[in-house]
Amino acid sequence: MMKQKSMSAPPWLEPLLNTAFFSICHTHGESARSERNMYCLDCHCDAFCFYCRSSHHKDHQVIQIRRSSYHDVVRVADIEEALDISGVQTYVINSARVMFLNERPQPKAGKGGAHICEICGRSLLDPFRFCSLGCKGPIYNKFYLEDVKNQ
């Protein structure tokens, strides 16, 4: 028997993808580690710093955003439990497997390789479907068919 199931995006995904990271925290700007590079999946509010995490998000599911080539990335280990990231291109940067949050501009015309992002057309290194979480985002709101066994 086939059952149609909605694979909708979690409520925090779109706010995460639209958040500006790496500005200085207004509350803790004079302190070291005051860069706003944390995001709470429970509150899905604005970015915050290390000190705000300790005081406002202590027992919440928080991910740290990092930078690579001037673009925001998240460690696969930090997000894979909260979101289906299958099909998104990953990279190893500083010994950590990461993925880009949003689409990055293609520096020059693609080489016409067999593997390109289904949304933006960016060349992919491997047979992945998307270059970033932002490009996979619309897929979460489409329907897919799933085999339902023993029901």
Instruction: Quote the pLDDT of residue 6.
Output: 43
Most confident of 2-6, 68-72, 105-109: 68-72
pLDDT given at position 110:
55
Residue 105 within any structural domain of the chain:
yes
Give residue-wise pLDDT tens across range 13-46.
999 999 999 999 999 999 999 999 999 999 988 9
- What is the average pLDDT value for the chain, to the nearest integer? 85
Under the banding of pLDDT at 50, 70 and 90, the label for residue 108 is low
3-state secondary structure the chain: CEEEEECCCCCCHHHHHHCCCCCECCCCCCCCCCECCEEECCCCCCCECHHHHHHHCCCCCEEEEEEECCEEEEEHHHHCCCCCCCCECCEEECCEEEEECCCCCCCCCCCCCCCECCCCCCECCCCCCECEHHHHHHHHHCEEEEECCCC
Q: Which of the pair, 5 or 135, is modelled with greater confidence?
A: 135
Tell me if 146 is assigned to some domain. Answer: no
Q: What is the total count of domains within the chain?
A: 1
Q: Is residue 148 part of a domain?
A: no
- pLDDT of amino acid 140: 73
Q: Tell me: the pLDDT tens digits for 50-96? A: 999 988 898 999 999 999 989 999 999 999 999 999 999 999 999 99
Q: What pLDDT sits at residue 99?
A: 98
- Greater confidence (145 vs 74) lies with 74
d(Cα 83, Cα 45) in Å, to the nearest integer? 18
Q: Which domain holds residue 69?
A: 2-141
